[in-house]
Structure formats: structure tokens, C-alpha cells
Amino acid sequence: MIRTTHLLFGLVLIVSGCQPSSKDAETHGHPQSQPPLVERPFAGEYPIKIVCTTAMIAEVAERVGGAQVQVVTLFGAGVDPHTYKPVPGDVTQLQQADVILFNGLHLEGRMGEVFSQMARRKPTFAVAEFLPAERILASGPKSYDPHVWFDVSLWEGTVGIVSQILQAYDPPHAEDYAMRAEIYSAELQELHREVKVDMESIPRGKRVLITSHDAFRYFGRAYDIEVLGVQGISTDAEAGVHEINKMVDLIVERRIPAVFIESSVSDRNMKALLEGCRARGHDVQLGGTLYSDAMGESGTPTGSYIGMIRHNVNVIVKALK
């Protein structure tokens, strides 16, 4: 049986008329030293169709693009981008797109080849890879932590990147894009300050955040809290008994009061963690559900980036304070 990823890749090769190469496959996944470049400006009919992978990126595109753009999001609420398996319908959306925006840094691991192929045909950008390289956290030799949106001050940089892309692609509306980007950036700057104040209310000795997988390193660095994940950077890396027992030892020894599950990750490991702690005489609590790799349902408070961040902070503060 042909795997879905192979099917999707084959379809992309057919529609692009190109053959894969190792050079193209290596285009994405690393911080870029050069700003995003648009070779040819938009010459079609409005609105400009932008296809995004995550809802976080889609929100930036919508806020900056305004009435000039129509945004489509491939990954919905509760979708884990690390393990997402592309479907043929994704090819249709990507084919019809004028611009493609994705996170990069291997967040969308199974779609990397697809984006490399699409980049030959239309403007396709890994927006997180154009953030300042010195602020990107390494996760291993030549690999990086893709969860950049959890440092609000860092994620704000994607607003300027998307604005730059749209201004170059659609020069007649450049001033509109710049103005909307400035407004959204100001909102994110205020959010960053708000989060810092809220997190500082947690006593220093209780600032330990344990989650399903290691998605909150940027959050920990930005807001001064120790973060630990049962699984690694990617949920593709399954946690074993040894890792769970090691985490149980840490929680019991340090009397950590609460741990947190994630909306887009199975809670199986966290349940094992809770049972292990209780067997050792420490009744650790489930602090609540955090949104990590995906936002909440559209139209709900957590269906916006600002709402998602505020929800997470409220849950963490309440459980640890």
C-alpha cells in the first residue's frame, strides 16, 4: 500500500514537472541569513490566496494581509504538525495558492519535500527560518527547536517578515500591509509584557513546567521558568519507560505540584506519569490542558494567538502559584 506522504510527493512532482534533488531538500530546516525574496510580483485577481500550515501563521497573514488576501489553514485545531500526514486535498490547496507560508525548522517534517518542490513554482516561505538566527534554540547537531511562537517577543518578528513578503509581492498595497503589521506588532508587544508580569507572580521555587513534549523551551527562556517535556522536541520521538520513571523521580523529589497535558498530543504518557507519582506517595495534580502545536477551535477564545497564549499563562499560573 502506498503511503500517503509518498502519494502526495508524487502528485507534487507531476504537477510541477520537476525531479527531486538533494539540494532542494536541504533548502528548508535551518535559520536563513538572507531576508525572504519575492522574484515576481502578484499579477492575478484579488484576493491573494495564501495557504498556511499552522493557525498561528495564518493569523499573522490575515492580520497583515487584510482585505487583500484570502487565507487557508491546512492544520486545524488539535492537529499535531510533527506527525501530520498530508492528504491529496492538500495538494489542491497548494496548487491553487498564490503564496505558501509555513513554519519551517522541521516543524512540518513530513511535508518538507513538498515545500521544496512548491518553492520552484511559486513564493513559498518558511517564516520562522528568517527570524534572528542567534535567537533560535538548537535541539541537536544542525537541528533546531521550531516552537518559536511561545516567545511572544520572538514571534512578533514573523509579523515583519510576512509584511515584507506581501509588500514585495503586492507593491500597490505595500503601505496597507506595513500599517496593519505595525498595529498587530504593538498588540504582541503588549502581550509579551503582560505574560512577563503574570509569570513573575509564581514563586521562583515553583516555576517548573512539565508538559507532554518539549515544546515550551522558548517560553521558559522568555518568561523565566524551567521547562521539561516527557517526550522530546518532536512527538515522533516516543517516550519510553525509562524516561517516564526518570521524570517521576524528579517530580517526587522536588514535590512539583502539577503537570500539564497538551491539546494536540496524546495524554497516555502523562497518565502514566501521574500513576507513577501516586504510587510513590506524591499526589501530583493535572494542572490543565495547554495549547502547544495547535490553537483552539476557530471562533473560540483560544482560536486566536493572543487568546491561546493568555489561556496557557492563566492555566500555568493557577496551577503553580
Distance between CA atoms of 10 and 248, rounded to whole angstroms? 45
What are the residue ranges spanned by the domains of the chain?
4-193, 201-320
Residue 301 grid cell: 477564545
Q: How many CB atoms lie within 10 A of CB 219?
A: 26
Question: In this prediction, what percent of the chain has a pLDDT beyond 90?
Answer: 69
Residue 137: pLDDT band (50, 70, 90) is very high
Architecture of domain 4-193: 3-Layer(aba) Sandwich (3.40)
Residue 151: pLDDT band (50, 70, 90) is very high
Question: In this prediction, what percent of the chain has a pLDDT beyond 70?
Answer: 88
Residue 17 pLDDT > 60, yes or no?
A: no
DSSP structural state of residue 204:
G
Please say whether the beta carbons of 207 and 201 come within 8 A: no
| 48 beta partners | 69
Q: Which of 6-15, 28-37, 87-96, 290-299 has the lowest mean pLDDT?
A: 6-15
Sign of CA dihedral 163, 233, 199, 263: positive
What is the per-residue pLDDT for 11?
Answer: 38
110-127 pLDDT per residue, tens: 788 889 999 999 999 999
Please say whether the beta carbons of 110 and 53 come within 8 A: no
What is the per-residue pLDDT for 100?
Answer: 98
Q: Are strands 124-126 and 138-140 parallel, antiparallel or unpaired?
A: unpaired
171-219 pLDDT per residue, tens: 999 999 999 999 999 999 999 999 999 999 999 989 999 998 789 999 9
Please say whether the beta carbons of 264 and 302 come within 8 A: no
Residue 310, burial from CB neighbour count under 10 angstroms (0-12, 13-18, 19+):
middle
What is the per-residue pLDDT for 238?
Answer: 55
Distance between CA atoms of 150 and 131, rounded to whole angstroms? 14
Residue 63 grid cell: 492580520
Task: Identify the CATH number of the domain defined by range 201-320.
Answer: 3.40.50.1980
Distance between CA atoms of 170 and 41, rounded to whole angstroms? 6
Between residues 1 and 179, which one has the greater pLDDT? 179
- Asked, colleague to colleague, whether 4-193 and 201-320 share their fold, the answer is yes
Q: Which amino acid is at 217?
A: R
- Please enumerate in sequence order all residues whose Cβ is within 8 A of that of 131, keeping only pairs 6 or more positions apart, or say none: 31, 148, 154, 157, 158, 161
Most distant CA atoms of the chain, gap in Å: 67
Between residues 229 and 33, which one has the greater pLDDT? 229
Per-chain mean pLDDT for the chain: 87
What is the per-residue pLDDT for 29?
Answer: 80
250-285 pLDDT per residue, tens: 999 999 999 999 987 888 888 899 999 999 999 999
3-state secondary structure of 282: coil
Residue 5: pLDDT band (50, 70, 90) is very low
Please say whether the beta carbons of 212 and 142 come within 8 A: no
